Amino acid sequence: MALMASSPYNNQIFLLPLFLLLLPIYAFAQNNITVGTSLTATQNSSPWLSPSGDFALGFQQLPNQKDLFLLCIWYDKIADKTIVWYANDGDTPSTAPTGSKASLTSDGGLVLTDRQGKELWKPNNIVGDVDKGVMSDEGNFMLQDTSSETLWETFKDPTDTILPSQVLEKGTILSSRRSETNFTRGRFQFRLQQDGNLVLNTINLPTDFANSPYYKSGTDEGTNSSTAGSQLVFNESGSIYVLRKNGERLSLVNGDIFSARDNYIRATLNFDGTFAQYYHPKNTSGSWTYIWSIPDDICQDVRVESGAGVCGYNSICTIKEEQKRPKCDCPRNYSLVDPNDDYGDCKPDFIQGCEEDELFRSKVHDFSDLYGVVEVINTDWPTSDYVQLKPFNGDSCKESCLSDCLCAVAIFRDGTCWKKKLPLSNGRVDNSLDSRGFIKVRKAEYSISPNGSNGLVQEVKEKDQDTLILVGSVLLGTSVFVNFLLGAAICVGFFFIYRKKGKTVLADQNVADMNLRSFTYKELEAATDGFKEELGSGAFGTVYKGKIQTGSSVVVAVAVKRLNFVVQETEKEFRNEVKVIAQTHHKNLVRLLGYCDDGKNRLLVYEYLSNGTLASFVFTDIKPSWRGRTEIALGIAKGLLYLHEECSSQIIHCDIKPQNILLDDYYNAKISDFGLAKLLMMNQSQTHTAIRGTKGYVAPEWFRNMPITAKVDVYSFGVVLLEIICCRRSVDSESNDEGKEILTDWAYDCFVEGALNVLVNWEAEALDDIKKLETYLKVSMWCIQENPALRPTMRKVVQMLEGVVEVHAPPCPYPAYSVTN
């Protein structure tokens, strides 16, 4: 018993000599790299590992570059091999072709050379002879002399990432990449200034000119030098702070702190300008998890007086809430200058200017015939103003821009109109603005090609001038009689030429108006990468994401619908129906760009809308704003009104549901799949028709011996309107609350009982707008009346939603009545 009681102490005494014996083995486990050792740039080459194997130094193949490699340090135990440091000369990464070597030398340290021995990169400012290289478990690679003094280390020469135990001294700079996969120096910097202030700022490439910071720690010397920052510290516990001269700490961490003992942790200046911290649990699969970032809203915080801003020129910045990172989009009728750079400059897909406008002055009554506007809400380019008009109203603001050849965009807010000219900078969406924006775009029939030529009008002018010169020369050199005969012949000739030309121009304009392109099946197969990325599927077919090249050599994203079956047997019938769809233009309808009629393969090519379906927008854990939802509902109603009453031939959709409502870059609603019901089922007006539509949205007359009219769409819209109001699906079979499974039934019960707060789950924004909430709810009840005769037309629906006409209390949607045959 005495022996057992003393055993812990005896064990410690016994283990001490063993521990001392293991010390040399532990030191050897650091896996020091000796001078003369080298790495070769090839696929699957062995890197230099840290003792734990967490980090590796070696070559990684550049994305989409078969024969180019990057000398870098990465996390070796996680799937994506995240890079935390890479060799670069300040502006560009020191890329290495296949067969290049990184050699450890005594005079140059780590030297990168190509196959011919040409030096590509080496560390700067090494004083002394290098004896060895050390790859540490913290992710730091060091060059040391014989006394183990560090001569150079990656922690003192960072790129875009810092790691636990890393310290940044004054003057140290992190530079962003150009993109996620482009390691060229980007436009953003994170640096500890000489005055002690930690800042984020943009630079105007290719220079180092620094714009005003969009983030400041406030630790500059100011009036008290003792409180100025001296270092930025990222400690092993996961904290990041500015260490002041007086020893105080200013923490940057505004989220949870994750220990580096159990997690991999990094802080990275992302290519889009946000500085963010991430963690990845050790010994698990998965991906990096966002912890926090600065600034909170980079779109609002960056305002560059002499540069583009967060996004490129003419672009619009919005914040992706999940990680507070920016998203850049070109306005409608604008496209990326470089299709591979989503954060780059945008250019108009038309030519605008005072000289160009003069070409059309004789052909238009006013410039509203020449230009249209794309209206945006709460969007601004705050540094592009050239005139301010006050007091003013919205319509006058729009007309002023349309008639001004210098104006590209007009923003109206609080009785003031700001007119802006190209290039537009610092574009952002700001929901606090309460503004309307009018982006001026040239109409298709008056388009001028962006390749420098002036299109049809200039071509006609030049030909007319050439003809007159030729005629004049002939007339001057001939007799009066011959001139008379020649003149008569020329007049006859011009009559037939211009008659033919007029027909051709009209035909070309019809094609331009329709803007429809015929594709082969192989073209669309290539555009969709073999129908690889599926966006969704339904009764009419499956939709795939693709990319096509437009006439101006701009690559644009498209949605390609592969039709399940087509009733029309002849090519002519199919194309006629497609033509009807293509000639149906409205801002709340998805635009058809082209089609394929290749044997049995029949496909439709639509514009691609980046914000997905209404279903993915409304049926989420985070409820979208009430105002945004009501605007979407009104947009859907206006789209249906156009289909039912305002287009050349009435179109009944037959399958209105959230999955068939798409949202553009600015969350404007656009109805998709219109016209497909007729294309795939022929005659909609017959009394006996196979049931079309989706469970929960189908009008009762589909199940009865009743004519199918536009009122079936009204019913479906009523159900969708309820879903938008409540942010829940029409049928919830998994609901635990009895009586709530069918939304239409439950909503009417809430309406009768006056329990609107329950219906919207006590949503403050909706209840603050109680009058509109009641109106929208009553409209939905009228739309879902079982008797189609009681349902309003879509014109009446729009008027009720806009508050133009009074909405009376609806009867019960499901009275006990029968329909006689």
Enumerate the known binding-site residues for ATP. 561
- List the one residue out of 259, 253, 299 whose CA is nearest residue 276: 253
CA distance to 289, 534, 550, 679, 768, per residue, from 524 (Å): 37, 14, 14, 20, 49
Reading phi first (left if > 0) and then psi (alpha if -120 to 50, else beta), residue 650 is in: beta
CB 326 within 8 A of CB 319: yes
Rounded-to-integer distance, Cα 444 and Cα 116, Å? 56
Q: Where are the alpha helices (DSSP H) in 583-622?
A: 614-618
Amino acid letter, 787: N
- Judge whether 381 and 310 are in contact, CB under 8 Å: no
Count CB-CB contacts under 10 A for residue 258. 21
According to DSSP, the residues that pair with 59 across neighbouring strands are: 71
Gap between the Cα atoms of 666 and 482, Å rounded = 67
Q: Provide φ and ψ at 502, rounded to 5°.
A: -60, -40
> Would residue 208 show up in a list of annotated catalytic residues for this protein?
no
The amino acid at 59 = F
Give binding residues as ranges: 561
Specify the DSSP class assigned to residue 663. Answer: E
Active-site choice (329, 349, 357, 655): 655
Which helix (DSSP H) or strand (DSSP E) does residue 268 occupy? strand 263-269
729: Cβ–Cβ under 8 A, 6 or more apart, which residues? Answer: 619, 696, 723, 743
Alpha-carbon distances of 156 from 152, 166, 274, 351, 587, rounded to whole Å: 7, 8, 22, 49, 55
* Nearest residue to 658 via CA among 604, 728, 736, 606: 728
Per-position DSSP letters for 669-700, written without gaps between them: EEE-STTHHHHHH--SSSSS----S-TTT--G
Dmax over CA atoms of the chain, in Å, equals 143
Residue for token pair 């194997």? 53
Residues 137, 647: Cα–Cα separation, whole Å: 69
Percent composition of the chain: helix, strand, coil (DSSP 3-state, to 5): 30, 25, 45
- CB atoms under 10 Å from CB of 725, counted, come to 25
Distance CA 292, CA 256 (A): 8
Q: Six-digit token pair at 194? A: 């000489």
Which own/partner contact pairs does 390-398 have at CB distance under 8 Å and 24+ positions apart?
390/415, 390/416, 390/417, 391/415, 391/416, 392/416, 392/417, 394/436, 397/436, 397/438, 398/373, 398/438
Q: Is the peptide bond before 295 cis (omega within 30 degrees of 0)?
A: yes
Task: Tell me how far apart the alpha carbons of residues 509 and 501 are, in angstroms, rounded to a whole number.
Answer: 12
**Between β-strands 517-519 and 592-598, what pairing exists: parallel, antiparallel or unpaired?**
parallel
The DSSP letter of residue 702 is G
Cβ–Cβ contacts within 10 Å for residue 92, how many? 12
Sequence letter at residue 337: V
Q: Which residues are catalytic?
A: 655
